[in-house]
Homo-oligomer: A and B are copies of this chain.
């Protein structure tokens, strides 16, 4: 399959872009190359597709099911009881819905942690996206649970080799307060031996820090350093309640940190991600978190929340510019997840978007990055391409109606049982 995009805006110029198989093979003027598909790029801009560094995809099934509640009440009374009943097929449809929403909002990679790994992997495989998928690992110090989860992760890791290379198997120890030290050590060791990413929730709430201090005598990052858990393969989500010393430690170990502004605000986590202190020392990424604490998976919106929340919290309108917000969902995660994308250039994977520029919210159009981050919503994304394949064209995605119907059916049956 080859695609030729003619006369499209790329940064400040207009050019042609040629996609062969899954790569951007040529960018230039007046490219006259044979192509299976030619797209007219007039009044369109090409940008890298977006990368969501923290989500729980199938929580789309719980969107709007419980809002405006305190965290623990929300979790224990609403979310966990439903999650306990989820089947792999339920999760598959929830993940399909999430993939559909992401394709329509320009995301082609996501870093996921949820139950029923195979349901998610199947959905991602079918929908044509990329994902790093981890199975939630929680043992609460229970030896049987621990054994079960380790075996399950070993089984899934082997199984993951049957999937295309768009599916990245990773480990998902949920958090330090839900996973035993022994299991964390196992995860670190298993990830080192097999070169796997680890996806964890870290220092999301003040309570987590207090509990850790009480239990371990040190703060969460210090605890993880002590048990040898930190490294470049660690994706530490939230990372909100950090001391200066903890930021130093994370930087020393090149840990990747993920800012989830909307979720932090909705769940009222009580503190802003310390962007100013981290930006030059750590790779900072952006995530939406799950659709139950956001409540959408739209990264364009998340970029705006990220920039605005940081500006507001530091009382500094200059911090976290629109370009930095954009990079946190493109260039930076391409590095963090080691995928050759995140920028439009020859040789990179053809993971990209076409933006319809003929829209009031993108007019007059002085600065596309500002317009995308601060003004646009995802409906200006006309075409989504991942791995050289068109997943959305003219805002239309294959089997959209079926996915919406099945996801509704599954969601209502879950709610009915509750």
Contact = CB atoms under 8 A, between A and B. Distances in A.
B312 A268 contact: yes
A266 to B, nearest CB: 6
Interface string A362-386: 0111110011001111110000000
Contacts of A377: 298, 301, 377-379
Contact of A401 (B67, B304, B305, B358): B358
Interface residues of A, dominant DSSP: helix
Interface in A67-124: 67-71, 74, 97, 100-101, 104-105
A153 interface: no
B97 A316 contact: no
A407 B361 contact: no
A374 B308 contact: no
Residue from the set A262, A264, A375, A411 with the largest chain B CB neighbour count within 10 Å: A375
Interface string A303-326: 011011101101111100110000
Contacts of A268: 311-312, 314-317
B364 A411 contact: yes
Contacts of A317: 68-71, 74, 266-268
Nearest to A67: B370
B64 A408 contact: no
Nearest to A262: B308
A295 B291 CA distance: 25
A270 interface: yes
B366 A318 contact: no
Contacts of A370: 64, 67, 295
A415 interface: yes
A61 interface: yes
Interface in A207-262: 262
A68 B317 CA distance: 5
Contacts of A376: 296
Residue from the set A304, A316, A322 with the largest chain B CB neighbour count within 10 Å: A304
List the 9 closest pairs (A to B, CB-CB), nearest first.
A364-B411, A379-B379, A377-B377, A265-B308, A101-B360, A64-B370, A265-B312, A295-B374, A295-B375
Given A63-B366, A358-B404, 5 more contacts: A63-B361, A64-B364, A64-B365, A269-B312, A360-B403
Interface of A: 60-61, 63-65, 67-71, 74, 97, 100-101, 104-105, 262, 264-270, 272, 291, 294-296, 298, 301, 304-305, 307-309, 311-312, 314-318, 321-322, 358-361, 363-367, 370-371, 374-379, 400-401, 403-404, 407-408, 411-412, 415
